[in-house]
């Protein structure tokens, strides 16, 4: 009842303000009329009675204002009024409004983007039930990979996990009817879906009871996305027969939308049971030495701590080492988060994102400082207006409310613009596939957290920069200002705003320096020596996908090499089972020739291993320092030979000379003779320190994985088409992926490129902010000293002197900030060197670039204030003030 | 007229409620009625009346409707709502308690202590 009355009075006030005022007028008039009649009756003449009645009543407007207040809802009304006034005022200075909104949109946009990424990758757990208790197993001696027998032992003997599940990532050919296409899959253990507590969208999943030894479960579970894009949501797909690497499989189910395994950035096409791993001819399911299972993980049992689980696992490891001394090395574990492969991807991502977040918040802070000084400049320009309003009886509270309304309004609009921009950007990011050959996505969907943060940031920053001119308003003395004009004191002290400005110029200079260093480093490292030539073509094929195995593989490889060599313009063709700086290298233990006990702990080292065809070195552009390359005569029936790189030779044999002709042992005990020494190169990362590597002839160590390397002067496009048609003649079913060697570097260049891009973007933002900041500061000092400048001009001051008087402070701050930033940036670049190879700040081009950039920014920022200072018309100024 | 009492803060509302409880009144009528029932001892400033009326309407204690005054002038009439009647009762009780207490406190003689 009461509430109803309250809302009715609010509602009337809100929706029918004019009617309410009319009624109020009428009521008061009738009151005065009634009073006047009474007075008339007591003997006064009508006119006098009217007059007396009015005087008795007092100030009608004041009463009405009080009545309005008594009706409540005043807050909203004055707020609306404030907003209306603010809009009118802002419309008069669109430049100011635009600059303020853009600055804030940039800063808030940057924060929302970075926070969304942080939210998606770090804060929000995996999209499976109880993700918080899901841990992956990491071997301290190695990484997360296991052999299948080890996994089975760990699974069956541990007491810590509800279900220990495992999966492997693989690439296969899927044929749904004469159209073999490459697909990325996860080979999952039978307890995979049950262990994760995921339920099928359609059909069924495979379970532990489906596993009856190797190749016993030819089932396919599609991911929702693959089903949607490749099977067009056809529900009849359940029960359909397909070929996976030429083996018959049956589609039994579709996973729910949004479930794509437990690896955050990886979206496989479908799942198959891990017991069917033998379809990949390279490794065998039950080989204890071959650590091909990509990851094992599980939910910890209720009440079991990670520490207890590790103890449990380690004791199993010890036991396995005792039982299988020939196959096992030391086995100790730690538990990690599986979504980003523990710290391997998670570590850098966390550091990178945290760093970005820090920078983004600094940018927001800088933006607030800038807007604060813009607002201060504006308040100074408007000090006359403020003084007049104060003199006419407006309360300081009301004026301050106006200032804050303006600030919050700008902040909200800026926040909205920034948020929409960042949503657009994130949508692009989510569909972006950074590596064309690999289904990796950076799926970031802004959620309620993100919107709330954007709103909060907008309001907080509005309050922050709105607070800057408060003191100015509070200290305005209306009489002084109206009497003498606004010149007042000229700030000579070093204010907090000055310090902030120097800080942000420094920050901007750091960012500009770092991004220039990163760009130069990237360019430089692309010209450096990788140990192979970048101007080659690559053709990747995977013979097991179309049913080749055993002896048919080398025969096919030889046919492909011969066919490709026959293409006109092709100088040489090589084949390797893996690419340096490709998608991951293979490693193998090697032993000194004298070692007899070949357990892993006795290994001499663990070099990168490539299995290559005779002409590989020539085709890839890897030069031999001494000795010979392989020939087709280095086959199964001839003595085992190897080519090793300089690093291998020096570490195993002491020197390149002594290495040539010496022997070492492979894990299976084969004595292998070094017949050639190849140059060192980069194998996994651009920033790695020199690694040992060895090359084995493919005929002696067969591998089905086949990367063809072609050396030719022909146009890549044309050559690509020729390669495709040639290989189709060799086997029409063979899926082929063709790219230039340079493009294949995308994977290893991803990190450095991203870092460079991010630094570049942040540098740009920093630059824009610094420009706005210097602009605000210069504009403020010019407008405060207009009178002084006018007098100087009137007295015949030179343009140079006027400019100096007007802008010297801004320029000094700029120089100070840039110098600090440049030196900080040079220090920061040491950190950069970890991401971008050969990032060195002691590069004259970088330093020149930074100085140039800062100078251009200074020029940009002071241009308008300088013009204003020079165009002061002393006559007009003196007349007005 | 000279010995008119200053009304205590907070008593305006209860006086208005009391005045209106005796029958619907327009604003000016409220003034006259208060003067009448207090024997012209309490006089209310005319400007202070209307904000108080609006406040009581907002609180749901009074309701207002347009009507015609005794001398045929359009005027807004106020009357008590159920909530207003209840509030008046509570306030009268409170006021009486206070008045009694104040009365006996101020009437105390030295020998009674």
- Locus of tokens 């409707």: B65
pLDDT at A347: 81
From CA A513, how far away is CA A849, in angstroms rounded?
8
User: What average pLDDT does this structure show over A737-754?
Assistant: 83
A820-846 tens-digit pLDDT: 888 887 777 666 666 565 666 667 888
pLDDT at A769: 81
Residues 65-124 of A with CB under 8 A from B: 66-67, 69-72
pLDDT at A481: 64
3-state secondary structure of A263: coil
From CA A416, how far away is CA A454, in angstroms rounded?
8
Radius of gyration over every alpha carbon of chain A, rounded to an integer in angstroms: 38
User: What average pLDDT does this structure show over A129-157?
Assistant: 90
From CA A94, how far away is CA A190, in angstroms rounded?
65
Q: Do A57 and B71 touch (CB under 8 A)?
A: no
Enumerate the residues of chain B whose CB falls inside 8 A of the CB of residue A9: 54, 57-58
Enumerate the residues of chain A whose CB falls inside 8 A of the CB of residue B28: 30-31, 34-35
Spatial contact of A850 and A822, defined as CB atoms under 8 Å apart: yes
The residue ranges of DSSP E strands in chain B, in sequence order, are 25-26, 62-68, 74-80
A9 shares contact with chain B (CB less than 8 Å): yes
pLDDT at A692: 94
Question: Which pair of structure tokens corresponds to residue A540?
Answer: 């990747």
Of A6, A31, A62, Cβ closest to residue B58: A6
pLDDT at A269: 93
Pick from A330-339, A445-454, A693-702, B6-15: least confident:
B6-15
Q: Do B46 and A71 touch (CB under 8 A)?
A: no
Name the closest residue on chain A to residue B55, using Cα atoms: A70
Enumerate the residues of chain B whose CB falls inside 8 A of the CB of residue A33: 73
- Locus of tokens 């079913």: A733
Name the closest residue on chain A to residue B70, using Cα atoms: A34
CB atoms within 10 A of CB A130: 13
User: What average pLDDT does this structure show over B26-50?
Assistant: 84
Spatial contact of A864 and A531, defined as CB atoms under 8 Å apart: no
pLDDT at A640: 94
Question: Which pair of structure tokens corresponds to residue A339?
Answer: 């979504």
Check whether B32 has a pLDDT greater than 60.
Answer: yes
Closest Cα in chain A, distance from residue B34 (Å): 15
Write down the pTM of the prediction: 0.67
A330-358 tens-digit pLDDT: 889 999 988 888 877 788 788 888 888 88
A305-325 tens-digit pLDDT: 999 999 999 999 999 999 988
pLDDT at B2: 40
Q: How many interchain CB pairs under 8 A, A with B?
A: 79
Of B46, B51, B60, Cβ closest to residue A67: B51
A559-597 tens-digit pLDDT: 999 999 999 999 999 999 999 988 778 888 899 999 888
Check whether A122 has a pLDDT greater than 50.
Answer: yes
pLDDT tier, A17 (very low <50, low <70, confident <90, very high otherwise):
low
Check whether A95 has a pLDDT greater than 50.
Answer: yes
pLDDT tier, B1 (very low <50, low <70, confident <90, very high otherwise):
very low
Interface test with A, best of B1, B51, B68, B83 (most A CBs within 10 A): B51
From CA A392, how far away is CA A370, in angstroms rounded?
32
- Average pLDDT of the residues of chain B: 83
Of B50, B60, B73, Cβ closest to residue A28: B50
User: What average pLDDT does this structure show over A534-544?
Assistant: 88
User: What average pLDDT does this structure show over A88-106?
Assistant: 83
User: What average pLDDT does this structure show over A75-94?
Assistant: 78
Q: Do B58 and A5 touch (CB under 8 A)?
A: yes
- Locus of tokens 């009489």: A479
pLDDT at B35: 86
Question: Which pair of structure tokens corresponds to residue A822?
Answer: 């440049």
DSSP code string of A709-729: EEEESS-HHHHHHHHHHHHHH
User: What average pLDDT does this structure show over A856-879?
Assistant: 79
CB atoms within 10 A of CB A476: 21
Check whether A221 has a pLDDT greater than 90.
Answer: yes
Give the residue among A697, A690, A701 at the shortest CA–CA distance from A676: A697
pLDDT tier, A490 (very low <50, low <70, confident <90, very high otherwise):
very low
Cα A775 from chain centroid (whole Å)? 31
Check whether B3 has a pLDDT greater than 50.
Answer: no
pLDDT at A488: 46
Spatial contact of A142 and A292, defined as CB atoms under 8 Å apart: no
- Locus of tokens 């802004």: A446
Radius of gyration over every alpha carbon of chain B, rounded to an integer in angstroms: 16
Beta strand A270-273 with B25-26 is: unpaired
Residues 141-160 of A with CB under 8 A from B: none
Question: Which pair of structure tokens corresponds to residue B61?
Answer: 């204690």
- Average pLDDT of the residues of chain A: 84
Query: Nearest-5° angle of CA B87, CA B25, CA B36?
Result: 90
Check whether A880 has a pLDDT greater than 80.
Answer: no
pLDDT at B5: 53
User: What average pLDDT does this structure show over A796-819?
Assistant: 82
Check whether A618 has a pLDDT greater than 60.
Answer: yes
CB atoms within 10 A of CB A282: 18
B66-113 tens-digit pLDDT: 888 777 888 889 989 998 899 899 989 988 898 899 889 898 888 766
pLDDT at A7: 66
Enumerate the residues of chain A whose CB falls inside 8 A of the CB of residue B45: 58
Check whether A4 has a pLDDT greater than 70.
Answer: no
pLDDT at A241: 92
Specify the DSSP element, H or E, that contains A63: helix A60-70
Check whether A605 has a pLDDT greater than 80.
Answer: yes
Enumerate the residues of chain A whose CB falls inside 8 A of the CB of residue B87: none
DSSP code string of A777-813: HHHHHHHHTHHHHHHHHHTT--HHHHHHHHHHHHHHH
pLDDT at A550: 80
Enumerate the residues of chain A whose CB falls inside 8 A of the CB of residue B55: 70-71
Pick from A84-93, A264-273, A655-664: least confident:
A84-93
Q: Do B50 and A67 touch (CB under 8 A)?
A: yes
pLDDT at A370: 81
Closest Cα in chain A, distance from residue B57 (Å): 7
From CA B17, how far away is CA B78, in angstroms rounded?
10
DSSP helix, strand, coil percent of chain B (3-state; round to 5): 55, 15, 25
A41 shares contact with chain B (CB less than 8 Å): no
Q: Do B27 and A27 touch (CB under 8 A)?
A: yes
What number is the ipTM of this complex? Answer: 0.85
The residue count for chain B: 113
A40 shares contact with chain B (CB less than 8 Å): no
A242-259 tens-digit pLDDT: 988 888 999 999 999 989
From CA A481, how far away is CA A499, in angstroms rounded?
28
Enumerate the residues of chain B whose CB falls inside 8 A of the CB of residue A67: 50-51, 54
Check whether A279 has a pLDDT greater than 70.
Answer: no
User: What average pLDDT does this structure show over A136-155?
Assistant: 90
pLDDT at A529: 83
Which residues of B touch chain A, with CB atoms under 8 Å apart?
A: 26-28, 45-47, 50-52, 54-55, 57-60, 69, 71, 73-76, 81-83
């Amino acid at each position: 009842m009461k509430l109803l009355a309250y809302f009715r009075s609010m509602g009337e006030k809100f929706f029918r303000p004019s009617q309410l005022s009319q009624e109020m007028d009428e009521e008061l008039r009738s009151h005065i009329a009634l009073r006047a009649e009474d007075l008339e009756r007591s003997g006064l003449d009508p006119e006098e009675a009217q007059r007396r009645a009015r005087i008795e009543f007092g100030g009608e407007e004041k009463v009405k204002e009080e009545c309005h207040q008594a009706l409540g809802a005043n807050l909203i009304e004055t707020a609306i009024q404030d907003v209306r006034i603010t809009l009118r005022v802002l419309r008069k200075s669109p430049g100011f409004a635009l600059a303020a909104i853009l600055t804030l949109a940039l800063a808030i946009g940057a924060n929302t983007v970075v926070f969304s990424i942080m939210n998606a990758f770090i804060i929000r757990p995996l999209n499976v039930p109880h993700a918080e208790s899901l841990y992956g197993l990491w071997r301290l001696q190695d990484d997360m990979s296991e052999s299948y027998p080890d996994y089975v032992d760990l699974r069956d003997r541990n007491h810590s996990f509800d279900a220990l599940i495992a999966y492997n990532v693989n690439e296969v050919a899927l044929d749904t009817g004469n159209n073999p296409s490459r697909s990325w899959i996860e080979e999952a253990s039978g307890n995979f879906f049950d262990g994760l507590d995921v339920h099928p969208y359609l059909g069924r999943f495979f379970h532990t009871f489906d596993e009856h030894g190797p190749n016993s479960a030819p089932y396919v579970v599609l991911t929702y996305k693959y089903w949607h894009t490749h099977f067009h949501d056809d529900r009849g797909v359940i029960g359909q027969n397909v070929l996976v690497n030429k083996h018959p499989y049956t589609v039994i189910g579709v996973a729910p939308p949004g479930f794509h395994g437990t690896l955050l950035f990886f979206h496989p096409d479908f799942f198959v049971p891990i017991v069917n791993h033998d379809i990949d001819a390279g490794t065998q399911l039950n080989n204890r030495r071959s650590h091909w299972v990509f990851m094992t993980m599980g939910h910890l049992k209720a009440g079991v701590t990670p520490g207890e689980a590790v103890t449990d696992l380690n004791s199993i490891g010890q036991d396995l080492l005792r039982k299988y001394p020939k196959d096992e090395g030391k086995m100790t574990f730690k538990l990690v988060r599986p979504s980003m492969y523990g710290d391997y991807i998670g570590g850098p991502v966390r550091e990178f994102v945290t760093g970005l977040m820090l920078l983004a918040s600094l940018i927001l802070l800088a933006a607030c400082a800038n807007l604060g000084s813009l607002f201060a400049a504006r308040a100074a320009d408007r000090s006359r207006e403020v003084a007049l309003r104060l003199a006419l009886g407006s309360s300081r509270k009301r004026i301050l409310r106006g200032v804050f309304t303006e600030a919050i309004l700008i902040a909200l609009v800026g926040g909205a613009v920034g948020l929409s921009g960042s949503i657009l950007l994130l949508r692009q990011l989510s569909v972006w596939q950074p590596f064309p050959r690999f289904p990796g996505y950076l799926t970031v969907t802004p959620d309620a957290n993100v919107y709330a943060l954007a709103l909060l940031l907008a309001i907080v920053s509005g309050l922050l920069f709105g607070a800057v001119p408060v003191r100015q308003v509070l200290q305005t003395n209306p009489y002084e200002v109206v009497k003498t004009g606004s010149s007042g004191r000229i700030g000579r002290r070093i204010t907090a705003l000055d310090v902030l400005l120097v800080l942000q110029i420094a920050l901007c200079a750091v960012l500009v320096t770092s991004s220039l260093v990163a760009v130069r480093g990237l360019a430089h490292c692309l010209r450096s020596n990788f140990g192979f030539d970048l101007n080659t073509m690559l053709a990747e094929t995977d013979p097991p996908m179309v049913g080749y195995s055993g002896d048919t593989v080398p025969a096919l490889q030889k046919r492909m090499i011969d066919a490709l060599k026959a293409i006109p313009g092709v100088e040489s063709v090589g084949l390797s089972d893996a690419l340096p700086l490709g998608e991951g290298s293979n490693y193998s233990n090697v032993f000194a020739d004298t070692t007899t006990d070949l357990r892993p702990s006795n290994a001499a080292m663990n070099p990168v291993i490539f299995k290559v065809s005779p002409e590989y070195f020539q085709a890839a552009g890897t030069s031999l320092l001494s000795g010979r390359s392989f020939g087709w005569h280095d086959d199964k029936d001839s003595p085992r030979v190897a080519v090793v790189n300089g690093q291998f030779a020096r570490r195993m044999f002491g020197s390149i000379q002594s290495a040539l002709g010496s022997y070492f042992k492979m894990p299976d005990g084969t004595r292998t003779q070094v017949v050639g020494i190849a140059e060192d190169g980069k194998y996994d990362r651009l920033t790695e320190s020199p690694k040992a590597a060895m090359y084995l002839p493919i005929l002696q160590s067969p591998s089905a994985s086949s990367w063809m390397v072609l050396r030719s002067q022909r146009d890549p496009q044309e050559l690509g088409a020729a390669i495709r048609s040639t290989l189709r003649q060799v086997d029409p079913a063979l899926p082929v992926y063709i790219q230039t060697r340079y493009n294949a570097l995308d994977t290893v260049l991803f990190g450095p490129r991203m870092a460079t891009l991010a630094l570049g973007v942040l540098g740009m933002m920093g630059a824009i902010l610094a420009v706005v900041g210097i602009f605000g500061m210069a504009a403020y000092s010019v407008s405060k000293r207009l009178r002084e400048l006018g007098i100087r001009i009137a007295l015949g001051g030179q343009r140079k002197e006027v400019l100096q008087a007007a802008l010297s402070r801004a320029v000094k701050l700029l120089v100070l900030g840039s110098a600090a930033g440049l030196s900080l940036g040079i220090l920061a670049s040491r950190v950069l060197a970890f991401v971008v190879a050969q990032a060195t700040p002691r590069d004259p081009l970088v330093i020149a670039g930074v100085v140039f950039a800062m100078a251009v920014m200074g020029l940009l920022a002071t241009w308008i204030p300088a013009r204003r200072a020079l165009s002061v018309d002393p006559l007009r100024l003196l007349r007005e003030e | 007229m000279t010995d008119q009492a200053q009304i205590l803060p907070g008593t305006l509302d209860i006086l208005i409620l009391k005045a209106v409880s005796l029958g619907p009144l327009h604003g000016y009528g409220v003034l006259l009625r208060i003067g009448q029932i207090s024997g012209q001892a309490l006089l209310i400033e005319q400007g202070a009346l209307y904000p108080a009326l609006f406040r009581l309407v907002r609180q749901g204690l009074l309701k207002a409707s347009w009507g015609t005054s005794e001398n045929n002038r359009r005027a807004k009439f106020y009357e008590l709502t159920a909530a207003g009647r209840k509030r008046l009762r509570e306030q009268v009780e409170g006021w009486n308690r206070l008045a009694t207490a104040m009365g006996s406190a101020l009437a105390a003689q030295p020998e009674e202590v």
